[in-house]
Amino acid sequence: MERLQALNPETATGKAKELFDGIQGKLGMVPNMMRTMGNSPAVLEGYLNLSGALGTGSLGAKTGEILASTIANVNECGYCASAHDYIGQNLVKISAQELEDARNGQSHDAKTQAAITFARTLVSKQGRVDDQDVAAVKSAGYSDGEVGEIVAHVALNIFTNYFNNTANTTIDFPVLEVA
């Protein structure tokens, strides 16, 4: 059962209504996570702004979804794992196998593996990575800016994982079990 209530976009008012209308226009729906974030328009707007900015970054949608799948599994967030599995397969066109591998911290592509490994290291070390951790991801071909984007993707996904685990958000995507 939800611990934080999802708002109904049809009865929302003010800034929440404005944000919901924008989401509806882009996605054709307002996912439960965003409906729940709408209880604080500042939270929803912050999420949308960072997510939107990262969407224009140099890592690209595929790497972003792979990192999101990895982090969701690490943090045992069923909502995010389900959402990113659906988005990854249906919108970004990542194979189910690649997403499963990402959830397990693996990739057959060496550069992608370096990003996954760095992301998992960021989480396990609570951001306190060392020189070798940064050197390893950079030696795989990531620029300073791209390393910064990986950090930002991890931060964004920790935020959504923690938010959904706290809210116990009702999953409105095909449910994927996390391990």
Above 70 in pLDDT, residue 128? Answer: yes
Above 80 in pLDDT, residue 179? Answer: no
Domains of the chain from N-terminus onward: 14-55 (no CATH), 60-167 (1.20.1290.10)
What is the sign of the dihedral through the CA atoms of 46, 51, 54 and 59? positive
Q: Are 161 and 71 in contact (CB under 8 A)?
A: yes
pLDDT attached to residue 178:
78
| pTM attached to this predicted model | 0.95
| Per-residue model confidence as pLDDT tens digits over 45-94 | 999 999 999 999 999 999 999 999 999 999 999 999 999 999 999 999 99
Indicate the Cα dihedral angle 19, 160, 55, 152, nearest 10°: 130
Percent of the chain with pLDDT over 90: 97
pLDDT attached to residue 109:
97
